[in-house]
Amino acid sequence: MIKVHSYCTYSNSHAGFVYGSFVIGENADNTDYCLSEENNANIVQIAFENGIIRRLCGKIPSSYNYIYLIRKLKYNYGNDHSDIGREVQMNFGFEFDSYDEFLSFVFGFNNAEEQDAQTLYHQLADCVVPDKSIEIYQYRISKDTLDSWIQSIKQPLSNDENEQYKKYKKGIYITASSTSTDYTKEISSLFGFPSIINEQAVELCREENTANYYYPLKKKGQFSKKWTQVRIKPIIVVVLILIGLLAFALWKNSSKQQTNLSIKMTIPIEETMMVDDQQLVFIEHEVILS
């Protein structure tokens, strides 16, 4: 499943930026996707409407889905499209329920952008179809163009590349508008990220001297209650078992030593006594010493 979140406009539109969304393969009208509020998401709306945010990439907090959101993309058609009026301004979010599909999309998009950003933005702009009959949005999304573009943009990853992108599986990267300003407090306030996950204290952290922020990251110097309950107890059990085994080994060794001290010895012991003037001699042969 892929949800597409759109926040686009073009020069001749009177609607401006209006957030709408749809699911790939659903809500198609005359081969085009029609936008609605049905699949809108709060985290996406905050990102679209705030000037600080440039990109989101990774696992959506409190969700099993993954998102790649890009903002402030532009393409200028010049005089080629009179209905558009030269420029298309685009903000898109692509939400996936499959991590592997998400990863191949992100990898392919990043590679295409590095190689030729304007060609990539042109392909995205071609998906935006002006339609003044749709009062709220004043555009639709071309189903054929978008579907074929998504399939073409995906790329398989090598094992090393999979390892490099592994960071997106458990958290979300947020790219801000500036590398010179620390927006940690502003971004935390905007999204209202939880400070506790699974009884573990977490926080939003900035990568030093970059515009990138990551959430959730374990708070430094914090020990979770869950770690204590789940990990310390088994350690105590193991220690007790080891103490028991050691005590048994010592007891067994002590018993063996005592057994070795019990020695059977043959010692002649002579006793004499007189019976009817006859001397009788008794000899005891066996004595056990412990």
- Per-residue model confidence as pLDDT tens digits over 107-140: 999 999 999 999 999 999 999 999 999 999 999 9
Burial per residue of 92-121, b for 16 or more beta-carbon CB atoms within 10 angstroms, e otherwise? bbbbbeeeebbbbbbbbbeebeeeeeeebb
Query: Two tokens at 146?
Result: 């978008």
Identify the DSSP state of 36: B
**pLDDT at residue 232 above 80?**
no
% of the chain surpassing 90 pLDDT: 58
Q: Nearest to residue 218, comparing CAs of 198, 191, 243?
A: 198
Q: Identity (one letter) of the amino acid at 77?
A: Y
DSSP SS3 for 275: strand
Candidate ranges 131-140, 163-172, 195-204, 270-279; pick with highest mean pLDDT: 131-140
pTM of the model: 0.74
pLDDT tens digits, 33-57: 999 999 999 999 999 999 999 999 9
**pLDDT at residue 284 above 90?**
no
pLDDT-derived band at 273 (thresholds 50, 70, 90) equals low
Specify whether the CB–CB gap between 266 and 289 falls below 8 A.
no
